[in-house]
Amino acid sequence: MNNRVGIVILSIIVLSLVFSGCDATITGDAKAVCGNGVCDPGENSAKCPEDCGTSTCGNGVCESSEDSENCPEDCGINPCGDGVCEGSAAGEDCNSCAADCPKEFGPPTGSCDACFKGICDGKCNPTKEGSDCSDCAPRDVIACCGDGVCEGGETVFSCVVDCGCIPTTEICDGVDNDCDSFIDEDLTMQCGVTDVGACEYGISICTEGSWGLCQGNIDPTDEICDGSVDDDCDGVIDDGCDCSNGQTKPCGSDVGECETGTQTCNSGSWGACIGEAGPTTEICDGLDNNCNNETDEGLNIECSSALNCGTNRWVGLTYCGADNNVHRAWTNYICTNAGTCSSSCSNQTTDYIYQWCSNGCFNGYCISGGNETNST
């Protein structure tokens, strides 16, 4: 196969790539990307067999994987068919080397002198790209998205792969989402449990893609029964408390002999009753000792009257008194505090003239022959 046949075959291959509908853009200096399925300028079978395949240098055909550098035997110095449109100054244009310089690469004036060095390497379709691929004047660089260079009117929106990122809302992920060269800047998040009662929300700051500890938050605690603060942040002050700390109230009874005391609240509970006089066992003292509004109830009453104690009577034997009358002892029974628990019986014995004797008394009797009068 001679060089002319090889050139024709290569021209057909290149033109088929040009019109194959690929989506990238042509560049003035296409970047070699090994592994993209295209044998880019600068690539060859030795450098990138994945894209350029294997070649047979010396067979007289400048194959797609050969160029003037790696196979001057087949391709010569800047030969037509090396995949590079050298331009009219170098002897290549769309008339002299359609394989390297298809007419679609020329300016709209119809001249086929390419204004840049480049090939349709499978990444660019001139018929789709319009003026970006057909009108290079006055530019000398045509955008080719995917070559790793942000050029020829490419923007982050038209070619993010070359020109950077598309701005979005910054989030805490360790990435510059808003494309301002700062990562996770000014990102804060509300944290904490609640802001009810004594509780307060805090702030967490994003650092290197992670949210930091919550700062400034006040979380729920146990109720301390202070009468004014909802410590456990459930919307109720001192729930579960019997009282508020420091609060006081009277305790005990003030009935009868009892006296009230004072209870003080401590830790939400009422303390002991301090200072009270409580009930005692009822005793017979005329007081309500057991504080039930009754006095001396349930106690024994010894007597309600003297009759409960005994009958007044003469007791003992008669005897002669110093007045020569017959004397005898008289006993009276007495009920003291009759009808009360303090009642008591007693008796009193008194010497009385039992019989008046006109002739005197002997051995406890009146001497006969005289007048005798009984005492009452």
Residues 164-177 as b or e (16 or more Cβ within 10 Å = b): eeeeeebebeeebb
Q: What angle do CA 188, 195, 237 make, to 5 degrees?
A: 165
Tell me how crowded residue 211 is: count the other CB atoms within 10 A of its CB.
15
Cis peptide before 49 (omega within 30 of 0): no
Closest CA to 120 of 79, 78, 85, 70: 85
What's the number of CA atoms in the CB half-sphere (13 Å) around residue 316? 15
Measured in degrees and rounded to the nearest 5, phi and psi for residue 8 equal -60, -45
Closest CA to 33 of 103, 123, 157: 123
CA distance 145 to 154: 7
In angstroms and rounded to an integer, the radius of gyration of the C-alpha atoms of the chain is 66
> What predicted TM-score, i.e. pTM, was given to this entire model?
0.37
Please give the full DSSP string across 137-203, using - where no structure is assigned. SS-S----TTSS---TT--TTT-HHHH--------SSSS-TTSSS-SSTT-EEEESS--STT-B-EE
The residue ranges of DSSP E strands in the chain, in sequence order, are: 188-191, 202-207, 210-211, 248-251, 261-266, 269-270, 313-320, 326-336, 344-357, 361-362, 365-366, 372-374
How is residue 367 written in tokens? 């001497």
Cα of 73 vs its chain's centroid, Å: 77
Tell me how crowded residue 156 is: count the other CB atoms within 10 A of its CB.
15
How is residue 66 written in tokens? 């050969």
User: Cβ distance 192 to 217 under 8 Å?
Assistant: yes
Cβ-Cβ contacts under 8 Å for 21 (sequence gap 6 or more): 125, 128
What does DSSP assign to residue 5?
H
Q: According to the model, what pLDDT value does residue 91 have?
A: 61
User: Cβ distance 336 to 346 under 8 Å?
Assistant: yes
Q: According to the model, what pLDDT value does residue 263 have?
A: 96
> Tens-digit pLDDT profile for the chain (376 aa)?
444 434 333 343 333 333 333 333 333 344 567 877 777 666 666 677 777 777 677 776 676 666 666 677 776 666 676 666 655 555 666 666 766 665 444 443 333 333 333 433 333 434 333 334 443 333 345 567 777 777 777 776 777 777 777 888 999 999 888 888 899 999 999 999 999 999 999 999 999 999 999 999 999 999 989 889 999 999 999 988 999 999 999 999 999 999 999 999 998 999 999 999 999 999 988 899 999 999 988 888 899 999 999 999 999 999 999 999 999 999 999 999 898 888 899 999 999 999 999 999 999 999 986 566 666 6
Closest CA to 294 of 284, 302, 304: 284
